[in-house]
Structure 1
Amino acid sequence: MKPFVCLFVLGMSLHCASARTHSLKYFYTASTGIPNFPEYISVGYVDDVQIVQCDSVTKKQHPKQDWMNKVTEDDPQYWEGQTQICLGAQPVYINNIEIAKQRLNRTEGVHIFQEMYGCEWDDETNEVTGYNQYGFDGEDFIVLDLQTKTWIAPRQEAFVTKLKWDKDEAFIAREVHYFTQECPEWIKKYVGYGKSTLMRTVLPSISLLQKSSSSPVTCHATGFYPDGAMLFWTKDGEELYEGVEYWGVLPNHDGTFQKSADLDVSSIPPGDWDKYNCVFQLSGVKEDVLTKLDKAVIKTNAKSQNLLIITLAVIGVFVAVVAILGFVLYKKKNAKRPPTPVSEPGVEEELNPKS
């Protein structure tokens, strides 16, 4: 556990100063065949909180958090500069779709071309990890390996791009410099602007849910921040690996997060239930939150409609995430590098079948 200093407040909130890993991510997405949706959109995130957005409809880079307006105190031309970067990137990415369609022989239907890039910075160790990858229609196309300073082509159609980009030493040097030097500096600035939001710590409300007496018991934690959390079941203090199913972290509409863990109770004798606990751990908080497996506190369809409401809420959030991230993220991580653009070989040139 990393060092932390916390002011404990009665209730569910803690305000802590703790060592954390911070991230800056950008996603550039061009699409065709999607009705009523911008053909180009770019978004930026700090610690998984959206900070900026620009698209082919608004044609303007604008903040998604009030505290992002503090950036003009250091750079009065920041938003105008970012808008110009966005407008310059838009035709490049739209053109990339057409070139990728030719390269991969996909001419009909919905198509998505994306770049995802960014870095993570540990504010205790100062360690930095960067990444940059391109994708087409939900699959990796070409990925930068910062360790070897070369590009990886997961599919044969990208190999010609890999060969050309690997030969451009100046391009790779700029990439390395951005991800190891410039990117973490921007993280520090943004975290400074949004410190009261990004550095807060909020513990969750935790419920035990069960559809029926024969169903698994779900430990559902919601409303916590940040998203660096662990949720698991234990027996006699030992973590369980059998008879359990763990689910990933999902965002809530208010910027907090939720997470669930299922426990199969069908073979647990009634007298042994008090040996089981659901354990929640949050980054920056020393104390674990324990919830004992207790039939008296379990919410079921028979006892309450809360389970149905919560289940629908979880499903609704999941559907929304899939709908949004399905086009913003082709897989995971992010022309062009706002807010400090790097002149790199145009992808449209490298994806041209003539190249």
Structure 2
Amino acid sequence: MMKSLLMLLLFCHTASPDKYYLNMNVLLSSGIPNVHEYVGMDIFQGVSIFYFDNSMERERVFLDWVKDLIKNKTHEWEEYIKGCMDYFHTLKADTTSFNQNSSQSEGGYIIQQSISCTWDDETDQINGHSRYGNNGEDFIAFDMMTWVALDAQAETIKKEWDANESRNTFWKNFIKAACFDALKKYYSFGKSYVNRKELPSVSLLQKTPSSPVRCHATGFYPDKGLIFWRKDGEEIHEGVEHGNILPNQDESFQMSVDLEMSSIPSEDWMRYDCMFELPGVENVIIMKLDKDVIESNYKEPGILGKEVNLSEISIIVTAVMAILIVIVLAVLGFMTHKKTMLNGKKLKQLTKLKLSSYL
């Protein structure tokens, strides 16, 4: 559970409308079980480049093209990773005051920072920010000019940091130089990988017969996919609830959209479908709203309120039939036995009568 939370926090604020973007994410924690004190990850175009934490001797690299980058830029890479590791002490000193007045900090805290730079390779425009989060909530951010308090408790820190002109100059230069330099290296080695387009597998899911039907797409890339419900070929919004785009462990993405079924008559189901499309790809995926293709692990309420599935029902029916057969055989056996006993009794009576008549 904590590992999933950690990954979600590291992926915060990775989306960007610009053509290429890099997020340099670090996370600092204290008093949180199963979470390392210091964690870092670079994310280029939604793709995890490397991961490290304070318990590791070496960073963990995920992709072959990143390994090629390291091989060709070994010295620069080692200097970069060393800087990421050493930044732990700076981050800790800069954020000491974040939780001093926060009730959420009791028993532990999590602070995250996302340093982001964006680049349009057509206009060569560079932009970016440095954003801090405090216990999962946006706290304070630098917008290349000044600090912006995103939480009331950050107002004092904003005034203190804005009064330090050298600090603002440092972050502006860092975003335009160090972050952009790393982004260009990732672009030069990984552009063919991050510019690929992959369609997902799409399925229809439903928890219970009265639950919304979920159209779930997983395995698409990049994270620009669109998914929606249609009626008679037209997109609908009423009774529809969209989920967020989430990362998969293989660097692809997943998303879903739910359709409320309570007001849709069964005879109208075939008028509805779910459509997924990926910008730049001609092919689209369409799933008809069909009971036969909906996947569910729903179990019908069984005997004494216990839920049983169809296989369990089959077993129960078989057992009941076997018991009934045994009962029927027993009754037939009893009746046969009783008939035999009666016939024997009559035979004895007749024999006695004949003998007495003879005597």
TM-score (norm 2): 0.69
Question: For 2:117, what is the secondary structure of its paired residue?
Answer: strand
Q: Which runs of 5+ in 2 are unaligned?
A: 1-16, 300-308, 310-359
Change in Cα spacing, 1:267 to 1:74, as seen in structure 2 (3 Å) is same
Q: Is the 8 A contact 1:229 1:281 kept in 2?
A: yes
Change in Cα spacing, 1:96 to 1:108, as seen in structure 2 (3 Å) is farther
CA distance in 1, matches of 2:70, 2:297: 52
1:259 equivalent in alignment to 2:259: no
Who is 2:284 aligned against? Answer: 288
* Alpha-carbon shift at residue 127 of structure 1 (Å): 5.0
* Alpha-carbon shift at residue 81 of structure 1 (Å): 0.7
1:63 equivalent in alignment to 2:88: no
1:165 equivalent in alignment to 2:161: yes
Q: Is the 8 A contact 1:59 1:87 kept in 2?
A: no
CA distance in 2, matches of 1:58, 1:219: 40
The residue identity in structure 2 corresponding to 1:115 is Q
Q: Of the candidates 198, 201, 206, which is equivalent to residue 210 of structure 1?
A: 206
* Alpha-carbon shift at residue 20 of structure 1 (Å): 7.7
Q: Is the 8 A contact 2:203 2:294 kept in 1?
A: yes
Larger RCO, structures 1/2 (Cα 8 Å, 6+ apart)? 1
Who is 1:241 aligned against? Answer: 237
Change in Cα spacing, 1:193 to 1:136, as seen in structure 2 (3 Å) is same
Question: For 1:79, what is the secondary structure of its paired residue?
Answer: helix
Q: Of the candidates 7, 27, 30, which is equivalent to residue 29 of structure 1?
A: 27
Who is 2:328 aligned against? Answer: none
Q: Deviations over 1:143-202 (max 9, x none)?
A: 1123xx111123444333322332444443443344356534432321331234322211
1:319-338 to structure 2, matched below 5 A, reads none
CA distance in 1, matches of 2:264, 2:34: 52
CA distance in 2, matches of 1:107, 1:173: 31
Q: Of the candidates 22, 44, 47, which is equivalent to residue 45 of structure 2?
A: 47
* % identity of equivalent residues: 40
* Alpha-carbon shift at residue 118 of structure 1 (Å): 0.8
Who is 2:149 aligned against? Answer: 153
The residue identity in structure 1 corresponding to 2:138 is D
Who is 2:112 aligned against? Answer: 114
CA distance in 2, matches of 1:218, 1:105: 38
Change in Cα spacing, 1:153 to 1:215, as seen in structure 2 (3 Å) is closer
Who is 2:194 aligned against? Answer: 198
Q: Is the 8 A contact 2:98 2:154 kept in 1?
A: no
Question: For 2:292, what is the secondary structure of its paired residue?
Answer: helix
Change in Cα spacing, 1:302 to 1:230, as seen in structure 2 (3 Å) is same
1:223 equivalent in alignment to 2:180: no
Change in Cα spacing, 1:122 to 1:266, as seen in structure 2 (3 Å) is farther
Aligned residues: 285
Q: Deviations over 1:235-282 (max 9, x none)?
A: 223211111111112222322222111112232233433322211011
The residue identity in structure 2 corresponding to 1:50 is S
CA distance in 2, matches of 1:79, 1:56: 18
CA distance in 2, matches of 1:31, 1:173: 27
Question: Could you tell which deviates more after superposition, 71-80 or 120-129?
Answer: 120-129
Change in Cα spacing, 1:80 to 1:139, as seen in structure 2 (3 Å) is same
Who is 2:139 aligned against? Answer: 141
Q: Is the 8 A contact 1:100 1:136 kept in 2?
A: yes
* Alpha-carbon shift at residue 51 of structure 1 (Å): 1.0
CA distance in 2, matches of 1:69, 1:152: 37
Q: Of the candidates 228, 234, 239, which is equivalent to residue 232 of structure 1?
A: 228
Aligned residues: CA RMSD: 3.0
Q: Deviations over 1:188-224 (max 9, x none)?
A: 3213312343222111111122233332221111121
Q: Which one has the largest radius of gyration?
A: 2
Question: For 1:176, what is the secondary structure of its paired residue?
Answer: helix
Change in Cα spacing, 1:161 to 1:228, as seen in structure 2 (3 Å) is same
CA distance in 2, matches of 1:207, 1:241: 20
Change in Cα spacing, 1:158 to 1:301, as seen in structure 2 (3 Å) is closer
CA distance in 1, matches of 2:91, 2:228: 42
